[in-house]
Structure 1
């Protein structure tokens, strides 16, 4: 009795009762402790407010040295018939505690993410702190866009081709054989394989005619290359836009009407004149001048497609006729924007580009 009384001094009345029950009925005692462990564990887990605290509870209840493992260590006192029942009850408690842990962990992680989102939320309707200048359309792109809009509105299709061309498409198919003196005016950059950088977008017309049957109305914009000395009005790399129309019964009058409509849309209603000229791929050919600020400016070249060019692509010149015209985009930009040096278009100087 003395030893029992000493023990009771150290334990609570409830613990003493459990000890007494354990001595009388170990199975019922373990089952009661498992149920109590489950209740306490689930309450503690639901009260956990951080992931760190939740991990501490997991170790406390389900760790290798946790409370559940300590209770299961007492199963050695049970009989062979009692152990399966207590083992099943212990698994139920373990699964219940693990389920509570998973559920609380999911809730805490979701709350953590939500708190982070609220902390990092930006009001996109507020004005920005720093001024970011908006981009602008480059003057060359602006001219190209305006020209293409006009020609597309007149029923033309935009066509493009490679900048690296063969001698055939750049010269021979355009009625300019190897010994033709007109090649001297279009000296270009040749590559080791015999190809070259195109000197004009007219080669796009040849490629298009080879693939399509008349009637044809196309406009071909693109970059071209010529071995020119660079100065205020010349560049070795520049941009062209050329148009081509092939159909039955087209005449020089159709060409003049098309060019007049285009130039009027770009420059306004100004005097225009056509001067006889020469191009190897058109016959007759003409230069187009525009009266600008009291003086005549050459702005385009044009002409009726030479029958030899039609033969080269398999068109019958007795059935079809056509006209072509082209201009340099840089020249139009310099006239419209009153530029004094073509090189300003390529230097990417923001002081210059901000004007457009």
Structure 2
């Protein structure tokens, strides 16, 4: 029993709370009705009569010191909160209080990593406005007037001016780049986009895209395939494979959807890839000559390819996140997983 008393006294002397809540929790644990001191008092009733005097004095000393120590710590915390200097608080030999460090949001981490990979290939970052006009979002990209993407179900239009809208893709940045720069052009366009969609675990009305554009003389489909293969192997791992499936986009011809081998099951098949071994990550294709001509670029001399991917989609695959809404809820428990705590 003597050893238990000494160990508890040592803990009382060495305890340094960071907050008032920690101090109150410690007080209850030591001095509370069901605390350690009361446990010792109950055990004291069973000791031999010849030991009661000595152990009783030790227990009383422990109780008094514990109460004094808790009062001291309470005063220090109150003084610190009020900004009043305290001799104990100014003691440079006291152990420091660890402060958690924040980090970038997972969307920012993935966006920066993707852009960094393409920058190593010679691409530069291009940006543009989120509030756009019909020309840069649709017309210049070969969208016919009856295209469903123009419908209110997909696009947020400004009521007072139907020609003004929130951009639905970062392709508008590509149009602005082609209008102001002469080939060769090699840009990646990260940004936030908006679509009038129901929010669920796999869709949101706000999300982020990264699109790329390369225009020069003699650019081929093979150049696009090799560039995208380099990207996915840098981002998802050197064992990643790709496949291209024919698709349709108004602004590219030919167009393709690009899949990667599932990085979770290694292409063997799992619930995430629906047992196909493949995951779709982006659309791509050769820039349609009509788009080049609309932006003032000679389609007989120049050719190019474009691609676009969702940052959330890549982030979900990289980190194994299954609910898109987590990226927008600012839940500290979720975001803390991407930070560094010391």
Shift of 1:185: 10
TM-score for the superposition, normalised by structure 1: 0.63
> Which of residues 239, 244, 247 is equivalent to 1:274?
244
Shift of 1:130: 3.9
Structure 2 CA distance, aligned partners of 1:124 and 1:154?
A: 54
Structure 2 CA distance, aligned partners of 1:213 and 1:262?
A: 25
TM-score for the superposition, normalised by structure 2: 0.66
Structure 2 CA distance, aligned partners of 1:223 and 1:128?
A: 45
Structure 2 CA distance, aligned partners of 1:301 and 1:337?
A: 21
What's 1:322 paired with? 304
What's 1:304 paired with? 286
Instruction: Tell me if 1:176 matches 2:143.
Output: yes
What's 2:30 paired with? none
What's 2:206 paired with? 237
Structure 2 CA distance, aligned partners of 1:177 and 1:125?
A: 72
Structure 2 CA distance, aligned partners of 1:348 and 1:264?
A: 30
Relative to structure 1, the CA distance from residue 126 to residue 208 in structure 2 (aligned partners, 3 Å threshold; closer, same or farther) is farther
What's 1:159 paired with? 126
After superposition, the C-alpha distances for 1:273-300 in whole angstroms (9 at most, x for unaligned) are 0000000000000000011123210011
Q: Does structure 1 retain, via aligned residues, the 8 Å contact 2:149–2:155? A: no
Unaligned runs of 5+ in 2: 1-85, 269-276
Relative to structure 1, the CA distance from residue 124 to residue 161 in structure 2 (aligned partners, 3 Å threshold; closer, same or farther) is farther
Instruction: Tell me if 1:137 matches 2:104.
Output: yes
What's 2:219 paired with? 250
Q: Does structure 1 retain, via aligned residues, the 8 Å contact 2:152–2:196? A: no
Structure 1 CA distance, aligned partners of 2:234 and 2:93?
A: 42
Between stretches 279-288 and 192-201, larger displacement belongs to 192-201
Structure 2 CA distance, aligned partners of 1:127 and 1:313?
A: 67
Between stretches 268-277 and 297-306, larger displacement belongs to 268-277
The RMSD of aligned alpha carbons is: 2.3
Relative to structure 1, the CA distance from residue 151 to residue 125 in structure 2 (aligned partners, 3 Å threshold; closer, same or farther) is farther
Q: How many aligned residue pairs are there?
A: 238
Q: Does structure 2 retain, via aligned residues, the 8 Å contact 1:186–1:199? A: no
Shift of 1:182: 4.8
> Which of residues 150, 161, 172 is equivalent to 2:117?
150
What's 1:339 paired with? 321
Shift of 1:128: 7.5
Between stretches 291-300 and 153-162, larger displacement belongs to 291-300
What's 1:115 paired with? none
Between stretches 128-137 and 141-150, larger displacement belongs to 128-137
Stretches of 4+ aligned residues off by more than 6 angstroms: 122-128
What's 2:273 paired with? none
After superposition, the C-alpha distances for 1:158-209 in whole angstroms (9 at most, x for unaligned) are 0000000001100000000322245459811111223100000000000011
The structure with more radius of gyration: 1
After superposition, the C-alpha distances for 1:66-106 in whole angstroms (9 at most, x for unaligned) are xxxxxxxxxxxxxxxxxxxxxxxxxxxxxxxxxxxxxxxxx
Higher helix fraction (1 or 2): 1
Structure 1 CA distance, aligned partners of 2:91 and 2:138?
A: 57
Relative to structure 1, the CA distance from residue 132 to residue 196 in structure 2 (aligned partners, 3 Å threshold; closer, same or farther) is same
